[in-house]
Structure 1
Amino acid sequence: MSEKILLIDGHSILNRAFYGLPDLTNSEGKHTGAVYGFLNILFRILEEEKPQYLTVAFDLHAPTFRHKMYEAYKGTRKPMPEELREQVPLIQEMLTAMGVKIVTMEGYEADDILGTLAGRSEKKGMDVTILSGDRDLLQLATEKVMIRLPRTVRGKTTIEDFHAEQVLEKYQVTPPQIVDLKALMGDSADNIPGIPGVGEKTATKIIAEYGSVENAHEHLEEIKPNRAKESLREHYDLAQLSKALAAINTDSPVEFDYEQAKLGNLYTQGAFLLCKRLEFKNLLGRFDSENAQPQQQLQEFFSCSDLSGCETLFDKAAKQEYVGVSLVAEQGQVFGVGLALDSEEVYFIPVEGLLTENYLCGKLQQLLQKSSHGALTICSMDVKSMLKYVDGEDFGEIFDTGVAAYLLNPLKSSYTYDDIAKEYLNGRLLPSREELLGKMTLEKAWQQSEDGLVNMACYMAYTALVSREPLCEALKETDMWRVYTEIELPLIFTLNSMEKWGIKVKGEELKSYGERLNIRIAELEQLIWKQAGEEFNINSPKQMGIILFEKLGLKGGKKTKTGYSTAADILEKLAPEYPIVKDILEYRQLTKLKSTYADGLEKVIERDGRIHSTFNQTITATGRISSTEPNLQNIPVRMELGRLIRKVFVPEDEYVFLDADYSQIELRVLAHMSGDEKLIQAYREAQDIHRLTASQVFHVPFDQVTPLQRRNAKAVNFGIVYGISSFGLSQDLSITRKEAADYIERYFETYPKIKGFLDELVEQGKKKGYVTTMFGRRRPIPELKSSNFMQRSFGERVAMNSPIQGTAADIIKIAMNRVYKRLKEEGLRSRLVLQVHDELLIETYKEEIEQVSAILEEEMKGAANLSVELEVDMHQGNNWYEAK
């Protein structure tokens, strides 16, 4: 069996990955998506081809013969996008780290090198595979040389394979004739002009019949159609230039040693370290355990499992100025504590013998209480998750590393100790949890990999302590120190209290609600089947698409590879005209209500009869709080049957719910931040903003505005806050794009300073790379620098809406902290139990209703000093439904 060499067109595959896959950036801000895509394509091809030799050829930036020819004809080639250019040295660094042979040569392009090496290798009796996104290389295909062309569509890569036979079959010309084909039809992707008026079909017919451009020119009078004949007559010189540009040099003087190209172990320690630096976590599993331990432990970690030793350790910790702490716990079970007294003295204390869960949690509680006197600061990766296991709420000085890292870069999905160490400890690479424990749960790791668990706990405590100082400096440099200390840190304790209290749920009411849903779902099912004329699976998009768009012939169906799309946005447009679609949308909403809430909530009611949701403050890029396990912020409110689920949430006996909701907070923030006098004045005069906007936009007297005009104006008002486009507004209001554009233009005429403010935000985003809230919270917008139009447009919308939404999020957080603090300071039994976007829910002791109402009014209105007053709507009820 012949040996095989795999030759790769480096720039071409990098370019293919860049345009075919979503852009990625790591925490250093480097673009890495093309490199990641290149590696995935490489690994796939290697697994399929199993070659003995591997070489990647790259173009040099120095001009080649073909560059000079092209520039003489038409000027400079289109420059490479900067986001792609910066990834060329990265992929070359990665390939070098993997021991892959890289070849470049001054004056020659990569395909010249590939053509030369393919020819030499074929003469040596080797099988050759060339991987490239450039169809020019099809001219190199033979029985022994295969060209593989990857195509990426919607993030999925497929690969076409061509020997000489497949080239002839698909293009009706032989591989060498590909050059003549390109000479006539051109190829804009490769800057080959071709001749005017000749497309692929005509060019193929000419070359198939005459064999070459030169022979076709000799038989010029026979060429058909007439347009092609005259074009070849007039532009023969251009055809010859195009042929020269398309022709690959298969005899370039490139020096090449096959021994150096032998394929060895790609998964080296250097490649592992680079994958970590570039944050290619999905690729780390390819490395064996030896390479997955890229460096020695920073220092020796210590374990302490005797009672007297632990007492000494905690006493010593209490006397430190700063101490790093990690609580290793999962699903209510504690396995141990990591304790970093300084950068050299890091301990793990296991739950073992006399060192019980209660003992360790009690010791942590004492440390936290000690910190309340200001002599000690507890540093932890995730303070709130630790507080779950500690009694009480009165704790003092803390430093939350995860929250600090989130503020500095809110675009990441997680803030792990290894990522934080790499970013804030001079690129220090620590083994991640996945490297230490694999996919094991903590309980399984405790049983099978105690060393890994110990190291993880110690790394977490160490990183929390040592990264504190650089994180503090970064927060101050970015002017986010006040956001961190005055909003986010106090919020940890507010959210901890909410999670611990939870909210009471009536189990019987929940079952009854589920039964009501079942009845209505069954009714809708029969109704839909009757209108369809047959029974079908309503939960199957494929079956539903056939019923709606083929059998019933509804207009507006969009067919995809898997069938008709039945996405909500498509059905919502059809619902007003077709009752069956309206019923299907209701069916979908109710079945989701049933599975997510009626059934889902029942599973998470704890022994105390309450649901204890988790409130996340490091998830959203705008700064909003999110709720998970379960998500109590996403309960449907658009339909009455959806709203009714709020009836199952009730206060304890002798308590009621007080619900306070900011009125139009984002529009009020927009009025303040834009400084638009007309909008500010309207709020000061307590006018109906949507009616006023409708009056101005539609040029009708205020008291003659119709309900439809007010609804449309409301869509424009809120749409502006979210950076809506004319296309988006036209979709929302079911009007033409031109009408929507007119609405937006008239809106900006009505409130002239808003347009200037939003434009200024986009400019700020482009210039600085981020926008800020009123309080200084930053929202990075890398999309504004993208070469992709859709990405840039998205970035512009983000630049316009993030400061408004982010400021509103900051205000509600400030209000929560102030309300929580007042309830505590005044010794009240009432407590904050829920936050949903702009709404706070207080479980209020009946004798404290008046006092709590005053606190809510004062603290929510006083959370920010705007040029328009913050308005709060407040309601009382014996369940959440009544209070809302």
Structure 2
Amino acid sequence: YVQYAAMRGDKSDNLPGVPGVGEKTAAKLINERGGIDGIYASLDEFTPKLRENLAANEDQVRSNIEMMVLVRDVELPYVIDELTRGESDIEGIKKLFDFLEFRRLWDRLAPLLGVAPTAAAKVLEPEITVYESAGDSAAALTAANSGSDVLALAVPEGGIHQGLAFVVDGPRAEVGFVDGRFLEDSGVRDALGTLLNSDGRLVAMHGAKPTMRGMLDMGVDLRDLSIDTRLAAYLLDPADSRYDLGELLLRYASLEMATGGAPVGQLDLDGGEQESVGIQAAREALAVDRLVMPLREAMASQGLLDLHDDLEIPLVRVLAKMEHRGIGVDPDVLTRIRDELNADTDSMRAAVIAEAGHDFNVNSTKQLREVLFEELGLTPQKKTKTGYSTDAQSLEKMRHEHPIVENLLNFREVEKLRSTYGEGLLAEVGEGNRIRATFNQTVARTGRLSSDAPNLHNIPVRSERGRVFRTAFVAPVAHKLLVADYDQIELRCIAHLAEDPGLIGAFERGEDIHTATAAAIFDLAPEDVHVEERSKAKMVSYGLAYGMEAYGLAQRLNIAVAEASAILESYFEAFPSVRSYMDHTVNVARERGYTETLFGRRRQIPELASSNRQIRQAGERQAMNAGIQGLAADIFKVAIVGLDKALEDEGLDSTIVLQVHDEIIIEAPEAEVTQASELMVVVMKGAFDLRVPMEVDLQIAETWADAKG
């Protein structure tokens, strides 16, 4: 029966079986082949589909067998009396079930524990006071200074310029709302600034950065944010991506946010849209108030409090300041680049049409298919639901078949630059000829920052046409841009984590790490390493930081998988501690269900428990990647927070205006260039004590392009 159930699967024990193998097939295979070993010894005799499913799930089948056999001779470090059931921690069980959202399971368990099943979650509805004047608003903000230990805030969806809700009395669910009109009053702003930066209380918000940026626009600097419930939820579950306040309230506090209009007798505003704005902000402020302690307890239980309090929270203000300040650009340069791209796009479109022999819409996939595959007879590479693919990968494989393909690839490259950056960056130029992008803390699961509106992290650098955009990013008059970039931070993290003597030695000696790696992989003297070998070694090194395996390496180097596999094997022979680290990382992550950086940042990887081999392998790559990328991300965050503090402590006017990957850009008055430059290097190098030196490349220039060479 055990082997039969292992093939078929057992839902009661949560053991997945082989896809396509039901009761009849499992029984037939076991009877004909004498058991599991006989089945797997004769895979070649089965139909292709059955053979594929059996092979892909062999590990799961054999694991099922082990799981279903009772072990009867385990030595236990207990006596029988110690195993007697004691009193249940009902409150603890309820909290755990609420956190895991086991609501139906709790309803089944509750009667067995002698408690009532779950009642409908209590709806959280605030008592709202709306202040009728600037004077009333200022007085209320001043009075709130002597309130509870937590100051929870929220703003309407449109931002703080529409108003501000703050919890006056948490236990009584009393919330005050200041209309955006009154926030323009200097007295109200002064009272708000004093309230926000008073000592001895926790200032809490959900997704605080946009509000902090709006406050900076008003001249109010929130320096003492204590908890951001969105950030806390991200640290607890970086895969969530939504971090909806209502869902968090239900999960962590067993409360439900109210919806709909205001209760009768509450919130006498001007009515209509403004009324709903105030209601929603008040509800969110009260939800934040109720979430503060449960989220702090949850973070404490996972060792995440220090990461939240000492790194992520200070970073919120740094990013808000960057967004508020923005980076200077020259609109004339952007306009010239756009016009040149417009001309190039027209020229390249004409070249494609000339090769086709007639006019057609180059951006129409349908018309392009007709030209390429029906009229010119090119070889289709793959088929989609709507027809033959014309994506870049397919076109690359057809490049040699007809000149139109080369022209088409060039057209697409330039058209993307024109639309995304030529037009896109000009549209984002704001007050003072500055671009103010958004920087995101809760998007990348590894802890890396991302950027949008516009995405300045993706400014092209690989082509000359792309690099020219950096010429438009400029320092103001009598200022310089200080551009500091960590040198190979991910590879240094690998050396530190793996404790590999070969890598550590190469970094300590200041060698070109890619040349040293190539020499080790290909058994060459460093002086005999050519550009091609160095390029391959570089791809291997950075590929490992992203969990890349032989197939991925083969794709990137355009070589056979066997050759890529041999290169990887040579790498691990040269640096064996790296393989040991990778294997250990995956094994620990599989056992725990998550990875953890040296700073305590966790990333859940449920894919490691999948019965599907491809999904499981993807999880293994994520596990390898998470530790390396996560450590690099944490180091960078320590650096940028420390640098911002150092600039303020020294009383400098120099400010951080941009972050791109492992690069920080400061805008410095010419008189401060020397001092700010020294601070950048010292702070960035000292962000973390790696086993290898952390090197920082610093350039000083008037444009971003000049700094990058």
Q: Does the 8 Å contact 2:7/2:21 carry over to 1?
A: no
CA distance in 1, matches of 2:446, 2:329: 31
For the pair 1:683 / 2:496, whether they are aligned, the reply is no
Partner of 2:452: 628
- TM-fit CA distance, 1:396: 2.2
Query: Which segment drifts farther, 642-651 or 686-695?
Result: 686-695
- TM-fit CA distance, 1:617: 0.7
**1:330 aligns to what SS in structure 2?**
coil
- TM-fit CA distance, 1:700: 2.6
Q: Does the 8 Å contact 1:81/1:787 carry over to 2?
A: no
1:405 to 212, 233, 255: 233
Partner of 2:618: 794
Q: Does the 8 Å contact 1:722/1:800 carry over to 2?
A: yes
CA distance in 1, matches of 2:440, 2:688: 23
Partner of 2:287: 463
Q: Does the 8 Å contact 1:662/1:839 carry over to 2?
A: yes
More RCO (CA 8 Å, sep 6+): 2
**1:833 aligns to what SS in structure 2?**
strand
Q: Does the 8 Å contact 1:301/1:455 carry over to 2?
A: no
- AA aligned to 1:298 is L
For the pair 1:78 / 2:8, whether they are aligned, the reply is yes
CA distance in 2, matches of 1:659, 1:461: 39
- TM-fit CA distance, 1:696: 2.0
2:320 to 484, 496, 512: 496
For the pair 1:524 / 2:454, whether they are aligned, the reply is no
CA distance in 1, matches of 2:532, 2:411: 27
Cα 1:567–1:492 shift into 2, 3 Å: same
CA distance in 1, matches of 2:427, 2:442: 26
For the pair 1:420 / 2:254, whether they are aligned, the reply is no
CA distance in 1, matches of 2:697, 2:652: 22
Question: Based on CA coordinates, which of the two structures has the bigger radius of gyration?
Answer: 1
Query: Which segment drifts farther, 375-384 or 342-351?
Result: 342-351
Residues 753-778 of structure 1 show CA distances to partners (whole Å, capped at 9, x for unaligned) of 01110111111111111101121111
- TM-fit CA distance, 1:423: 2.1
Q: Does the 8 Å contact 2:142/2:191 carry over to 1?
A: no
Partner of 1:244: none
Cα 1:322–1:74 shift into 2, 3 Å: closer
1:473 to 281, 284, 297: 297
Structure with the bigger percentage of helix: 2
- TM-fit CA distance, 1:791: 1.8
Partner of 2:203: 378
For the pair 1:302 / 2:135, whether they are aligned, the reply is no
Partner of 1:387: 212
Partner of 2:585: 761
Partner of 2:363: 539
- TM-fit CA distance, 1:854: 0.5
Partner of 1:442: none
- TM-fit CA distance, 1:749: 0.6
CA distance in 2, matches of 1:605, 1:527: 33
- AA aligned to 1:326 is A
Partner of 1:230: none
Residues 156-197 of structure 1 show CA distances to partners (whole Å, capped at 9, x for unaligned) of xxxxxxxxxxxxxxxxxxxxxxxxxxxxxxx8456357999x
- TM-fit CA distance, 1:665: 0.7
- TM-fit CA distance, 1:635: 0.8
Partner of 2:57: none
Cα 1:816–1:532 shift into 2, 3 Å: same
- TM-fit CA distance, 1:350: 4.2
Q: Give TM-score, length-normalised by structure 2.
A: 0.80
Cα 1:882–1:364 shift into 2, 3 Å: same
| CA RMSD, 1 decimal | 3.1
- TM-fit CA distance, 1:329: 5.1
Q: Does the 8 Å contact 2:125/2:257 carry over to 1?
A: no
- AA aligned to 2:439 is F
Alignment of 1:226-625 (within 5 A): 297-307=123-133, 310-320=137-147, 321-328=149-156, 330=158, 333-351=161-179, 361-370=189-198, 374-390=199-215, 391-393=219-221, 395-425=223-253, 427-431=254-258, 448=272, 452-555=276-379, 557-575=381-399, 580-625=404-449
Q: Does the 8 Å contact 1:77/1:191 carry over to 2?
A: no
Q: Does the 8 Å contact 2:163/2:278 carry over to 1?
A: no
Cα 1:560–1:384 shift into 2, 3 Å: closer
CA distance in 2, matches of 1:345, 1:195: 66
CA distance in 2, matches of 1:316, 1:85: 60
**1:398 aligns to what SS in structure 2?**
strand
**1:536 aligns to what SS in structure 2?**
coil
Partner of 1:720: 544
Q: Does the 8 Å contact 1:771/1:803 carry over to 2?
A: yes
Partner of 1:114: none
CA distance in 2, matches of 1:404, 1:792: 28
- TM-fit CA distance, 1:554: 4.3
Partner of 1:101: none
- TM-fit CA distance, 1:418: 0.9
- TM-fit CA distance, 1:309: 5.0
Q: Does the 8 Å contact 1:377/1:397 carry over to 2?
A: yes
Cα 1:85–1:697 shift into 2, 3 Å: closer
Q: Does the 8 Å contact 1:723/1:801 carry over to 2?
A: yes
- TM-fit CA distance, 1:629: 1.3
Partner of 2:524: 700
1:191 to 19, 24, 27: 24
CA distance in 1, matches of 2:282, 2:203: 15
Q: Does the 8 Å contact 1:318/1:367 carry over to 2?
A: yes
- TM-fit CA distance, 1:512: 0.8
Residues 275-334 of structure 1 show CA distances to partners (whole Å, capped at 9, x for unaligned) of x9699xxxxxxxxxxxxxx76643552223234654453233212322111122516731
CA distance in 1, matches of 2:4, 2:154: 64
- TM-fit CA distance, 1:516: 0.8
**1:302 aligns to what SS in structure 2?**
strand
CA distance in 2, matches of 1:842, 1:73: 65
Residues 473-508 of structure 1 show CA distances to partners (whole Å, capped at 9, x for unaligned) of 222221222211221011011111111110122112
Percentage of matched positions with identical amino acids: 34
**How many residue pairs are counted as aligned between the two chains?**
611
CA distance in 2, matches of 1:192, 1:356: 75
**2:316 aligns to what SS in structure 1?**
helix
Residues 517-551 of structure 1 show CA distances to partners (whole Å, capped at 9, x for unaligned) of 11211222222233444443322333334444454
Q: Does the 8 Å contact 1:674/1:753 carry over to 2?
A: yes
Cα 1:673–1:515 shift into 2, 3 Å: same
**2:124 aligns to what SS in structure 1?**
coil
Q: Does the 8 Å contact 1:420/1:463 carry over to 2?
A: no
CA distance in 2, matches of 1:746, 1:342: 63
Partner of 2:559: 735
CA distance in 1, matches of 2:189, 2:201: 18
**1:519 aligns to what SS in structure 2?**
helix
- AA aligned to 1:324 is A
2:638 to 807, 811, 814: 814
- AA aligned to 2:124 is L
CA distance in 1, matches of 2:159, 2:186: 15
Cα 1:824–1:82 shift into 2, 3 Å: farther
CA distance in 2, matches of 1:337, 1:458: 5
Cα 1:301–1:643 shift into 2, 3 Å: same
Q: Does the 8 Å contact 2:212/2:320 carry over to 1?
A: yes
CA distance in 1, matches of 2:341, 2:183: 50
**2:628 aligns to what SS in structure 1?**
helix
- TM-fit CA distance, 1:413: 1.5
- TM-fit CA distance, 1:360: 5.1
Structure 1's unaligned 5+ residue stretches are 1-70, 87-133, 135-186, 197-273, 280-293, 438-444
Q: Does the 8 Å contact 2:349/2:411 carry over to 1?
A: yes
Partner of 2:63: none
- TM-fit CA distance, 1:881: 1.0
Query: Which segment drifts farther, 638-647 or 383-392?
Result: 383-392
